[in-house]
Structure 1
């Protein structure tokens, strides 16, 4: 009931305030945070402006190696309200950035990202994976009849050293037409509640995960990918506040792009 009251109160204020979102910042980390907040609601012109700034800051024209780093600012509670997550503590979720290019076409990438069976595509990642579409479906999205597709996911994952957890995730894609490099895709994924670990005595936890990604075809067959993520996780004695663990996470994000590039070749 308290959550409902908070949401009603927020909606009442938001509906009265018709002020459009501010334009996107120019720095990569602040820009990705802006996309997290505004990627659903901002109009195409604002999003195109945001992507143009991201291209400059991310050196899309000249980048030859991935950019890996951490966010200077963490999410705030106000950044989570529209997702019903206002009771979370985003100050505990450390942010990371990856800016990378890999070989693929945007059309092929859309097919990969929107596919129902991600477990079959990314072998060895999931013990189980069930994606249910809540807005649109892959055929409608990939044929360009709609510009949005959303889904719910129930998954089981084994962490390194054998800790296994179940989690529920919401995600989706939005296609924006008319960017400087043509259409681009905004992808958002977030953990709806802390993961449940199979071992009741584990010291591990996975409490928060917020991900935002922007993709476009920088040149024919070459994807520009900007990835922002804020995560609160612990595996045994390591948390993401540990820089060594942070670097492992960043390396895994790059490996995910490598795996996607391999899928694009099929």
Structure 2
């Protein structure tokens, strides 16, 4: 049994970013061996376990095969025979397909360190195009790292366009779309999320209400740049984006559009209420110093 630190923890260590969560891959083990050591299984169909002391996730090395639509349409195969490289190749981006051994050695079969140094977000393999959720994930990572000078590889953008112009995105659940979006709006450069989704033609499919933001990009960026990074930064970003996106609409129509979008995405009620209040009072807020 060999255990490796994988994914975001390795990436962020190399970027000198704070590491909040650690995920591990276990090579050469069976489900029974994990249970014997006290690991708690997560779900029935996914070979992921919780460490009995640290609470961190340990996943058996696995391969996957596309079997249906959406991000859930996969069959997974976990076996002691699955290698670390076979496990890593199923990941989305090269910078997320690195592992670290317990002696500190970085295992990097897909040149993630090179892409990290060159500030490029690049898919690992053509299997990227099998999972529509990766369109949102790449856009979220772009929102996180754009201020560091990261760009998207052209061939990765092409695969994102391929996913967006197929029927794959419509099979994503509202919960998954919102989860990625909520995280993206709290990142360092949230407008980069919208910019990239528009570039790969996903904005029209998932967030048609935000198409107006592309025409009002300068105004949107100006508003977002004035926001302070408080505890509720992502929620404040959402409220401001909805206000900019509906500025040209009558008040009642704007409030209905906000309500409709929040209902479709199943946002928290507090996000809906704040977005409507900011839209209703945005002019008074803008003039607050002169009131």
Q: TM-score range by the shorter chain?
A: under 0.3
Q: Which of the two has greater helix per residue?
A: 2
TM-score, reference length from structure 1: 0.28
Question: Which structure has the greater CA radius of gyration?
Answer: 2
Relative contact order higher in (CA < 8 Å, ≥ 6 apart): 1
TM-score, reference length from structure 2: 0.26
